[in-house]
Structure 1
Amino acid sequence: MPNRFLFSKIDNSPLIIFRIFFGMLVALECYGAILTGWIKRTLIEPKFTFSFIGFEWLQPLPGYGMYFYYFIMGTLGILIALGYKYRFTIISFTLMWSGVYLMQKTSYNNHYYLLVLVSGLMCFFPAHRSHSLDVRQNPALKADAMYAWVKWAIIFQLLIVYVYAAIAKVYGDWLDFGIIHILMLGKAHYHVVGDLLQQPWIHKIIGTVGILFDLLIIPALLWKKTRRIAFFISIFFHLFNSFAFQIGIFPYLSLAFTVFFFEPETIRKIFFKGKTPYVLNKVEAPSYKPALYSLGGLYFLLQLALPLRHHVIKDDVLWTEEGHRLSWRMMLRSRSGTIQFKVTEKESGKSEIIDFNDHLSKKQKRRIAAYPDFIWQFAQYLKKEYAEKGIPISVHAANSKVSINGRPWRAFIDPEVDLANAKWDYFWHNEWILPSSGEK
């Protein structure tokens, strides 16, 4: 049964058109980052970036280097769409995108992470075997079929994303639609629909549909009887998200994934009318079957485990943020914070309060007080800055308070802990984050 499920040969039309969509979308994402000023605001203007902890060595290129970096990635996207030197271009894009993803988290979106995963999977897919420049240069590469595991790898990855997103929404502030109200407040200035988006009945619709869509969309697309209506609902849902939240290519990438749910014959008739239909042959497992089971099993076990890790970390992830990223916890909270960094020179005892304007960009200042990893990293940054002057220091968080989803402000970081010399716990709770219960 596993052999038939994973190793049947099926028409590869969905994979070929997805390769084209994928390449075009990542090209738009990268070129758009240049044209909209995102690179300037996020990677050039800041004095330093808040990278993922452990990847501080990944820093933006100096000068205008990041413009060239993104231009190269956008060009790789075009080459992926064209199917030119596919293995080289998709692997190169995956490495470059992963690098820039880990380089900064001030502007964090879940679709940046999804692009890392999908481009990584695409490195192993035979997406260049038809309608590509590679085939034009080497006709021996041409194939009209692929193993079914390619399709199911994408579908299972999407199932993980959507189901975990639905489960994460099942908590108080989503179920009473309070977080929807907060998210929509920033849309009040929208022409025509701004006032409508402030209505409580609209919030109830958005909140209810948000959970039901995430939970049911994959099964609905898989079932032939509901596939078309699910597809049209997907179009409306993702276009609304694109309009309301301006989240880049993510809604359109999500729509591109739907090609894997339709019959290959349908995709071929729409996009590749001249393509030769593939006639099913016998099931034959490839020589790499053991490696596929081992690596694929490990990959999906990791994908299943990462979103669950916050359950074994002390305290509430909504408060501590520990275990939030890489977990498909999308649009669940609004965090505001206030903090002062008190630097004390150990030898002289002289103290000062750091002026954020001297060190941080506008967006970084909005993040620094509300997220513990940002707070810890800024303390390390200050320690390094003073160390270069030969001055050992301690760094304490003064007046650190956080408000989550509009709730009253509460103390967040232990003011007695020297953050400059505190260790960051990668996998467990950092005790210098005060308890969500308010009891130390």
Structure 2
Amino acid sequence: MINRWLFTHIDNSSLIIFRVFFGFLIAAEAIGAIFTGWVTRTLVEPNFTFNFIGLDFLQPLPGNGMYFYFAVMGIFGLLVMVGFRYRMSMIAYTVMWAGVYFMQKASYNNHYYLLLLLCIIMSVLPAGNYFSVDVKLKPHIKKISMPRWVVLFIIAQLWIVYTYASVAKFYPDWLDFTVAKNLMAARANYPIVGGLLQGHWAHVSVAYFGILFDLLIVPLLLWKRTRLTAFFISIFFHLFNSIVFQIGIFPYMSLAFTVFFFSKETIHRIFMKKKEFYSDGEVIVPNYKKVLIPITIVWFVLQISLPLRHWFIPGDVLWTEEGHRLSWRMMLRGRSGITNFYIVDKNDTKANRTYIDKREYLSKKQLRLVSSKPDAMWQFAQHLKKDFASKGKDISVYVKSDMSINGKKRKSFIDPEVDLASVPWNYFTTNPWIIKYNTERNLE
């Protein structure tokens, strides 16, 4: 039964055309990051980056190195698109993108995490076996079919992402339109649509359409009777996100995924008429079956477990941020904080706390990060300790931070009596110096 379900061969037109779309989009992501100034603001101008904790060795290349880095990534993306040395090009892009992703958090985005997962997945899929330079050079690798597990794997991954994105929205500030109102208010100056987005009807639509779309879009695309309608709804939803929220390639990536939901005959007819259509339905059990099944189980256990981990960490994740990343908690809240850092010279028993001007150390994007995210506060405290140690001083670092969630009243966020430079960062449990509140209601 498992063999028939996973290893029945089907036409591979959907995977091949997706590879073309995917390669173009990841190339655009890399090259666009240079020309939009993203690389400059995020990786060149700052004196240091806020990498994922524990990965301090990941730092930007000096000088103009990161421009060349992203240019090379763009080339690998184009090679993926045309299918030249597909596997090598896809793995190279994946490794380089992982470096960028783990190197900095000032521009953290759940979509960047999704792109990393997709790159890993595409690195192992047989997407270069047709309509590629590789096939031109090595005709013997040409294939017109693929095992069914390829499509099932991709759909399962998407379903997890969309479902968690929907479930995370079931909390008071989203359901009473507070979040939607704040999101739209930040876009009031947009030409043409800015004014329209300020109406109550727009806030209601954004809030509830967001929940329903994320929750239902995968099953609606899977069901033949609703597939076409769901596809046109997807076009509207993702173009709206592209225009209003300006989130780069990801709305278009999401639209590209729809090729896996339509029938194989439809995709073949629209995109690859000249290709021979595969319809034999052979069951071919591969040699890698013994590896594929356990790896797939581990992969999806992780994908299902990571977004749940915040339930096992004390405190409300909306407030503490512990368990927020890698959890598909997308555009759920607005955070704003007033955060100040003070140092004390440990060798001077009479020393008072001295205010640190963060602007001397941080870029504008990093200032916003340090003002609201506890892990960045901890990392900045470590950076200050190292900086003063290089000058021969041993210091303590204290933080006074008042935080607001979704525009509500500010409350104390960090214990001001804890020396953040001397405490460890707890990855898998809570950090006790983050002040907790009993329920979400206490954040009002």
TM superposition outliers: structure 1 runs of 4+ over 4 Å? none
- Counterpart pick for 1:356 among 344, 354, 358: 358
Which residue number in structure 2 is paired with residue 194 of structure 1? Answer: 194
Which residue number in structure 2 is paired with residue 401 of structure 1? Answer: 402
Which residue number in structure 2 is paired with residue 92 of structure 1? Answer: 92
TM-superposed deviation, 1:282: 2.9
Give matches, 1:278-289, under 5 Å: 278-289=278-289
Distance 1:280 1:227 in 2: 25
- What amino acid is aligned across from residue 341 of structure 1 in structure 2? F
Distance 2:389 2:5 in 1: 59
Which residue number in structure 1 is paired with residue 137 of structure 2? Answer: 137
Q: Does 1:388 align with 2:390?
A: yes
SS in 2 for 1:268: helix
SS in 1 for 2:282: coil
TM-superposed deviation, 1:383: 0.6
Percentage identity across aligned positions?
57
SS in 1 for 2:26: helix
- What amino acid is aligned across from residue 293 of structure 2 in structure 1? Y
Which residue number in structure 2 is paired with residue 314 of structure 1? Answer: 314
Distance 1:359 1:165 in 2: 35
- What amino acid is aligned across from residue 395 of structure 1 in structure 2? V
> How many residues are paired up?
438
SS in 2 for 1:195: helix
Normalised TM-score (structure 1): 0.98
- What amino acid is aligned across from residue 422 of structure 2 in structure 1? N
Deviations 1:158-204 (A, max 9, x none): 00000000000000000001000001111100111111101111110
Give matches, 1:30-429, under 5 Å: 30-349=30-349, 350=351, 351-398=353-400, 400-429=401-430
Distance 2:284 2:127 in 1: 20
Q: Does 1:27 align with 2:66?
A: no
Q: Does 1:433 align with 2:434?
A: yes
SS in 1 for 2:194: coil
TM-superposed deviation, 1:69: 0.4
TM-superposed deviation, 1:22: 0.3
Distance 1:436 1:46 in 2: 34
Distance 2:243 2:186 in 1: 13
TM-superposed deviation, 1:2: 2.0
Distance 1:293 1:367 in 2: 40
Distance 1:280 1:429 in 2: 55
- What amino acid is aligned across from residue 8 of structure 2 in structure 1? S
Distance 2:435 2:410 in 1: 13
Distance 1:395 1:368 in 2: 14
TM-superposed deviation, 1:436: 2.3
Distance 2:281 2:243 in 1: 45
- What amino acid is aligned across from residue 416 of structure 2 in structure 1? P
Distance 1:306 1:424 in 2: 19
- What amino acid is aligned across from residue 377 of structure 1 in structure 2? Q
TM-superposed deviation, 1:270: 1.1
Distance 1:192 1:395 in 2: 48
Unaligned stretches of 5+ in structure 1? none
Distance 1:40 1:67 in 2: 8
- What amino acid is aligned across from residue 286 of structure 1 in structure 2? P
TM-superposed deviation, 1:266: 1.0
Give matches, 1:6-21, under 5 Å: 6-21=6-21
- What amino acid is aligned across from residue 150 of structure 1 in structure 2? V
TM-superposed deviation, 1:281: 3.5
SS in 2 for 1:332: coil
SS in 2 for 1:88: helix
Distance 2:191 2:421 in 1: 47
Distance 1:277 1:431 in 2: 60
Distance 2:151 2:392 in 1: 58
Deviates more, 1:247-256 or 1:186-195: 186-195
Distance 1:31 1:386 in 2: 38
SS in 1 for 2:427: coil
Distance 1:265 1:128 in 2: 20
Deviations 1:212-233 (A, max 9, x none): 0000000000011111000000
SS in 2 for 1:369: helix
TM-superposed deviation, 1:109: 1.2
Distance 2:437 2:66 in 1: 39
TM-superposed deviation, 1:279: 2.3
